[in-house]
Amino acid sequence: MSNNLAVLHALDTAKTQWYHVTAIVIAGMGFFTDAYDLFCISTVSKLLGRLYYYDPVKGHPGKLPTGVNNFVIGVALVGTLTGQLVFGWLGDKLGRKKVYGITLILMVICAICSGLSFGSSAKSVITTLCFFRFWLGFGIGGDYPLSATIMSEYANKKTRGAFIAAVFAMQGIGIVFAGLVSMTLSRIFLSKYPAKSFKEDQVFSTQPEADYLWRIVLMLGALPALLTYYWRMKMPETGRYTALIEGNAKQAAIDMGRVLDIEIHADSDKLSQFKASNDYSLLSKEFFRRHGLHLIGTTTTWFLLDIAFYSQNLTQKDIFPAMGLTQKADAVNALREMFETSRAMFIVALLGTFPGYWFTVFFIEKIGRFRIQLIGFFMMSVFMLILSIKYDYLKSNNKYLFATLYALTFFFANFGPNSTTFVLPAELFPTRLRSTCHAISAASGKAGAMVGAFGVQTYTLNGNTKLIKKALMILAFTNMLGFCFTFLVTETKGRSLEEISGEDGGQNETQMTSEPQMTQQGSHRETI
């Protein structure tokens, strides 16, 4: 460690303390908001169909046309992809802290505005909703690279993976709350405004008051973002950014010394060495030589994972009836349908989605990122293959087993690649390009999510069994591809960020993808 800066050494070896916990909560609340905002649309999209697309001639409940449904659900993902690239690049150019505040304000404003609408026709309501959800997604996009980068740059090397995974695990809590809030509010509305089922009364089965409900659910997404703004602005810039990018070792030592409650030597003389050995751009041959395979690995695995992950999350409302968690649309009124959909989403999230995130937090430093990602992709593939082959049998004869297998795919997504694809790009790349590379990887993931939302989801909308089976088969195959591409990334546990990226002047390890090698080399370096 003799060639490392004192401030970086202090961050790497600092004991876990209260400051780390507050950093997890502050960065994590952004993710809580992201997940709530992205997934609460699934609980209200059927309600929007009933309110704005009912046609008396057809004789069945109003439903968002396929194109409109895909757009309402997918537009935030388009915004997220764009926001990731823009804010990720800005995070490296202007600093993590400055850009962090902008993303929050944008999320607060757009969450409130997505619950408003200009005009009352279906076209004006949906257009307003989509416009503001695009910009909401744009703000959410910035949260991905910035939260991951800030947490990785604050953390010590022993628990860094667990800390970054804990920030990401707040997404699980956000998904649970999206179901819980929608379920609670729809239940309150239902007790105030009861109505007959669609079969009994086609017109009045859709309560006019339901128009307020979906707006309230969407607007509530502004609350957590608003609450964390003050605390985010109090966080100092990360020591790594201040020292290595701004070149101010003294300020970095003061900032980090204050938050870690220790005295740090400024050693400004070593900065020029650091900067000289890492002065290459993203599009240079040097970057490709050092980190090319890593970037290909992080982008492909995140892309393939999100095809499956978002297909599952956004289409679960279409699979719930098959699992016996919700009734057929014409057997219930509008508010009852929303209550049942959000209740089912809450149950699946609480039992399947939520535990997986925290398993990753507890085991990532023991098992390592590499193995968790391989296990997750493999198990998701196996469960989806079983579901696709035995879909008819499970649907008719064994709904509990069907629900269990479906929940297990969620569990292994989160105790697996959904968490590790977020952690790895925050660790593999050098400080001056960390936020940008994480943004590129995350944006690749959102491109996969769009394939899920616009492509795979169309297979499930009409409840056609053959098409749903085909969709599950496709997802099993994409997960197996993800398993193969994982071999392009490398194990990062237990080593400093500068060691992993080669910023400390040590050997680069672009070619080193097998985990045993990594662990040996990591432990060898530790004893030098």
Q: What's the whole-number mean pLDDT along residues 266-285?
A: 63
Nearest of 339, 342, 337, 332 to residue 202 by alpha carbon: 332
Residue 347 CB-half CA count within 13 A: 17
Q: What's the whole-number mean pLDDT along residues 181-193?
A: 91
Confidence grade of residue 272 (pLDDT, cut at 50, 70, 90): low
Pairwise CA distance, residues 322 & 66, whole Å: 20
CA dihedral 90, 112, 23, 233 (to 10 degrees): 60
Q: What's the whole-number mean pLDDT along residues 127-146?
A: 90
Query: What whole-number percentage of the chain has pLDDT above 90?
Result: 22
pLDDT of residue 527: 29
Segment 324-336, tens digit of pLDDT:
777 777 778 888 8
Crossing angle of helices 515-527 and 369-389, in 10° steps, is: 160
Helix residue spans in 193-333 (DSSP H): 210-219, 222-234, 239-240, 249-260, 271-277, 285-323
CB atoms within 10 A of CB 347: 18
Tell me the one-letter amino acid at 469: K
Which tops the pLDDT comparison, 90 or 516?
Answer: 90
pLDDT of residue 147: 85
Nearest of 29, 41, 26 to residue 73 by alpha carbon: 41
Segment 191-237, tens digit of pLDDT:
888 878 777 777 777 788 888 899 999 999 888 888 888 887 777 77
> What are the structure tokens assigned to 374, written together?
């391989």
Q: What's the whole-number mean pLDDT along residues 475-484?
A: 92
Q: Please, what is the average pLDDT of the chain?
A: 80
From the DSSP assignment, how many helices (H) and strands (E) are in the chain?
24, 0
Q: Are 457 and 309 within 8 A, CB to CB?
A: no
Q: Are 412 and 380 within 8 A, CB to CB?
A: yes
> What's the Cα-to-Cα distance from 113 to each of 101, 211, 259, rounded to whole Å?
19, 15, 37
Residue 411 Rama label (left phi>0; alpha psi -120 to 50; beta): alpha
Confidence grade of residue 275 (pLDDT, cut at 50, 70, 90): low
Q: What's the whole-number mean pLDDT along residues 353-368?
A: 88
Segment 45-63, tens digit of pLDDT:
888 888 888 777 777 787 8
Domain boundaries, the chain: 6-492
pLDDT of residue 5: 66
Q: At the fourth CATH level, which superfamily is domain 6-492?
A: MFS general substrate transporter like domains (1.20.1250.20)
Pairwise CA distance, residues 345 & 175, whole Å: 9
Whether this model's pTM surpasses 0.85: no
Q: What's the whole-number mean pLDDT along residues 482-511?
A: 74
Confidence grade of residue 304 (pLDDT, cut at 50, 70, 90): very high
> Is residue 367 classed exposed, middle or buried when 0-12, 13-18 and 19+ CB atoms within 10 A define those classes?
middle
Tell me the one-letter amino acid at 341: T
> What are the structure tokens assigned to 379, written together?
């198990």
Pairwise CA distance, residues 500 & 447, whole Å: 27
Crossing angle of helices 354-367 and 160-192, in 10° steps, is: 180
Pairwise CA distance, residues 245 & 271, whole Å: 10
| Residues shown for the chain | 528
526 pLDDT higher than 50:
no
